[in-house]
Amino acid sequence: MKLAISSTGINLDSLLDPRFGRAKYFIIIEDEQDESKFTSIDNVQNLNATEGAGIQTATLVIDQSVDAVITGNCGPKAFKLLKKANIKVFLSKGDISISSIIKEFKNNQLEEITEANVEGHW
């Protein structure tokens, strides 16, 4: 399964960014069974957007052809767009590294959400 994880940095030691639309980066894991195959995507164009950050970031992630997103929070507009693209959304909490999040995902310890967990403009 191909994953997109909101991140504060560009490698697997980076921490989860709790924001989806305004995440600094996304770590794209090609296959969660082999986490050595990853790339990072800069989300700076949406980090400081005055509006529409969630929608623009969802489009960025959809363009990566991922199967699932892991983040701390996901607003209603971004969630709707991700669901329309058949992308699952999972939540992770706290100051945790991307590599630890991948382990949690492999062990089915992350919650898949069925609706946005925060209001827009969070």
Q: Above 70 in pLDDT, residue 89?
A: yes
pTM of the model as a whole: 0.93
* pLDDT tens-digit readout, 43-83: 988 877 777 889 999 999 999 999 999 999 999 999 999 99
- The per-residue pLDDT for 37 is 86
Phi and psi at residue 93, in whole multiples of 5°? -120, 155
DSSP assignment string, 31-91 = -TT-TTSEEEEE-HHHHT-SS-HHHHHHHHHHTTT-SEEEESB--HHHHHHHHHTT-EEEE
Domain boundaries, the chain: 3-112
**Encoded tokens for 9:** 């940095």
Contact 54, 69 (CB under 8 A): no
* Angle of CA points 78, 96, 57, to nearest 5°: 20
Cα gap 44→48, rounded to integer Å: 7
Cα distances (angstroms) measured from residue 99 to each of 10, 13, 24, 115:
12, 6, 17, 26
Does 3-112 carry CATH code 3.30.420.130?
yes
- The per-residue pLDDT for 4 is 98
Across the chain, what does the average pLDDT equal?
A: 92
Q: Above 70 in pLDDT, residue 121?
A: no
